[in-house]
Structure 1
Amino acid sequence: MIQTHGANKRGHDYLVGDLHGQYALLQTMLSRVGFDQDKDRLFCVGDLVDRGPDSLACLSLAFEPWFFGVRGNHEMLAYQALTEGGEHWRLWMMNGGDWASRYDITDIRQCLEKALENLPYAREIEASGSRIGIVHAEPPRDWTSIERAETSDKHDLVWGRSRIKRQDQTRVLGIDAVVVGHSIVEQPTRLGNVLYIDTGAFHTQTLTLIEADEVIAWLE
């Protein structure tokens, strides 16, 4: 369900919004900040695949030792399509999954299954003495409940939008800050102690990359 990460004492930690196949754009952003793969870590809020030109390259980031993502609804949609077919396949194709047709479908399914082993539902990192949680879509009211999450809770973690729809400023308990994607915003947007960083890179070409220390400063 969740993986925790201590403070990075050797380099910097960065968080990035939904990639959606924008591999070249990500590389440009990492180059701008001088990202060092030997010292720095990159945390992604999910949706590595679909809609963009390089979904397979983005999915393959899950195997890099410096990359730490969480699973998004597009990873789960792809998984259902590739393992169950039928209506799930149709929905995936309607939502940007057509990139898979350029490859052997069995290879894509196997790659995704292995990638999901490295994409938990949530991550938690330490930065500047504070704790930052990461999920794709919507955190629970109490962060500590993630460990015992039921099926319905897992759905909210990758699909939920009720908080942003209500513009709910209630703080998530048990954590200093939570960073999420899924819901497209024009610019990083704060609701309580939750920071939304999906700026719609697949159609805006604006990919939000923010240092972990900046998240804490932003929420303060």
Structure 2
Amino acid sequence: MLQRFSANTVGRDFVVSDIHGCYDLLMNELDRAGFERSRDRLFCVGDLIDRGPNSRACLSLPFEPWFHAVRGNHELLARDALEQGHWGMWLLNGGTWVRDEDPETVRQRLHEALSRMPYAFEIEVAGMRLGIVHAEPPTDWAMIERDDATIAHDLVWSRRRIGKGDSSKVRGIDAVVVGHTILRTPKWLGNVYFIDTGAFMTGRLTLLALEDIARTVPR
């Protein structure tokens, strides 16, 4: 459920919003930020695939040593289609790119990628603990380690906090970065930072240094 990372002592840490197949856009943003693959780390809030132009390339990202992603709902939609035959929801939500691929090859690649994509990250940054999940954290960060199906579902699907404008703080963590819900600009609600800006629609992919986020956590 949860993977922890100690502080990066040799480089910088970044987080990127839902990539959704926009591989070239991601590469451009990394170049603009001066990202150094030998020492920097990139964390992603999930939804690597679907809707954008190059899901196949994005599905290769979890195998890069500098890239780390939590699982998003689109990875799980793809898994349900490729492993359980539940094709309807995935195809309706951007999975049609698989028609141009060998489904068995995609299934194997996705299976291997998901083994590297837990539900949550916890990263030490500037003396703080920052969490990353795809959609919404629980009210207490420690609940993630319960391996509870309802909590797992909310981590990749829920929009209750953003829907209600809930600014209560998640206990047990300094801040949590999430994607899933498309906004015009990133937004804090309590100590939860929503960063998805709809790259596949708007051409705006949010890439932020985790140290910058740590400096702006609401007190």
**CA apart distance, 1:217:** 1.5
Partner of residue 60, structure 1: 60
Matches within 5 A, 1:82-97: 82-85=82-85, 88-97=86-95
Distance 1:142 1:153 in 2: 11
Partner of residue 213, structure 2: 215
Residue 147 (structure 1) aligned with residue 149 (structure 2):
no
Distance 1:166 1:219 in 2: 20
Distance 2:139 2:147 in 1: 12
Matches within 5 A, 1:95-134: 95-134=93-132
Distance 2:180 2:173 in 1: 20
Matches within 5 A, 1:25-64: 25-64=25-64
**CA apart distance, 1:91:** 1.2
Distance 1:129 1:58 in 2: 31
Q: Percent identity?
A: 56
Task: Show CA shifts across 1:139-158 (max 9, x none).
Answer: 00000111113111100000
- Partner amino acid, structure 1, of 2:42: L
- Aligned match of 1:166 in 146, 164, 167? 164
- Partner amino acid, structure 2, of 1:61: L
Distance 1:149 1:108 in 2: 27
- Partner amino acid, structure 2, of 1:136: H
Superposition RMSD on alpha carbons, in Å? 0.6
User: The residue matched to 2:91 in structure 1 has which SS?
Assistant: helix
Distance 1:113 1:172 in 2: 31
Runs (5+) with no aligned partner, structure 1: none
Partner of residue 181, structure 1: 179
Distance 1:93 1:137 in 2: 21
User: The residue matched to 1:219 in structure 2 has which SS?
Assistant: coil
Distance 1:158 1:133 in 2: 14
Distance 1:102 1:156 in 2: 31
Distance 2:77 2:174 in 1: 30
Distance 2:181 2:165 in 1: 12
Distance 2:217 2:122 in 1: 16
Runs (5+) with no aligned partner, structure 2: none
Aligned structure 1 segments of 4 or more residues deviating by more than 4 angstroms? none
Distance 1:180 1:146 in 2: 15
Distance 2:36 2:78 in 1: 31
Give the TM-score normalised by the residue count of structure 1: 0.98
Task: Show CA shifts across 1:126-183 (max 9, x none).
Answer: 1000000000001000001111131111000000000000000000000000000000
**CA apart distance, 1:219:** 1.5
Distance 1:135 1:59 in 2: 18
Aligned residues: 218
Distance 2:215 2:10 in 1: 21
